[in-house]
């Protein structure tokens, strides 16, 4: 996991167990999907970024999550069913204090 300090902070989600290398090392196919997400609302200072990191890791997704002045951004790659579950749980299981206004994929 890599965290870059400063107003823009990014954490990289490691590949799932059994996977190796970066997404560029793995062939893309019907069994993998990659999405970019933007989440706006009250998502800073409430533990949302660590929540997104933990959620992605628990679902076996690779990617990154960070925040900037507009909110939280993330990229996730993995099994399409895991991606769908990730998107569902972003809003449904958000940490207390978070108020999701919009999730844009």
Q: Evaluate if pTM is beyond 0.75.
A: no
Q: Would you list the DSSP string of the chain?
A: --B--SSSEEEEEPPPTT--S-GGGSPP-TT-EEEEEEEEEE-SSSSHHHHHHHHHHHTT-EEEEEEETTEEEEEEEE-HHHHHHHHHHHHHTPPTT-EEEEEE-
Q: Give catalytic status of residue 89 as yes or no.
A: no
- Per the annotation, the verdict on 49 as an active-site residue is yes
Q: Please state which CATH number belongs to domain 9-17+31-104.
A: 3.30.70.100
Q: Catalytic one among 20, 49, 88, 102?
A: 49
pLDDT category, 70, cuts 50, 70, 90? very high
- At residue 55, the pLDDT reads 97
**Residue 2's pLDDT band (boundaries 50, 70, 90)?**
very low
Mean pLDDT value across residues 29-38: 88
State yes or no: pLDDT of 31 exceeds 50.
yes
Inform me whether the pLDDT recorded for 80 exceeds 50: yes
Of the listed 26, 67, 88, 102, which one is catalytic?
67
């Amino acid at each position: 996991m890599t965290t870059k300090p400063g107003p823009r902070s990014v954490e990289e989600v490691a590949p799932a167990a059994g996977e190796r290398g970066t997404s560029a090392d793995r062939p893309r196919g019907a069994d993998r999907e990659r999405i970019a997400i933007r989440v706006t609302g009250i998502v800073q200072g409430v533990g949302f970024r660590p929540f997104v990191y933990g959620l992605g890791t628990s679902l076996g997704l690779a990617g990154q999550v960070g925040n900037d002045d507009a909110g939280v951004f993330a990229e996730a790659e993995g099994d399409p069913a895991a991606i769908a579950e990730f998107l569902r749980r972003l809003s449904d299981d958000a940490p207390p204090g978070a108020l999701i206004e919009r999730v844009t994929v």
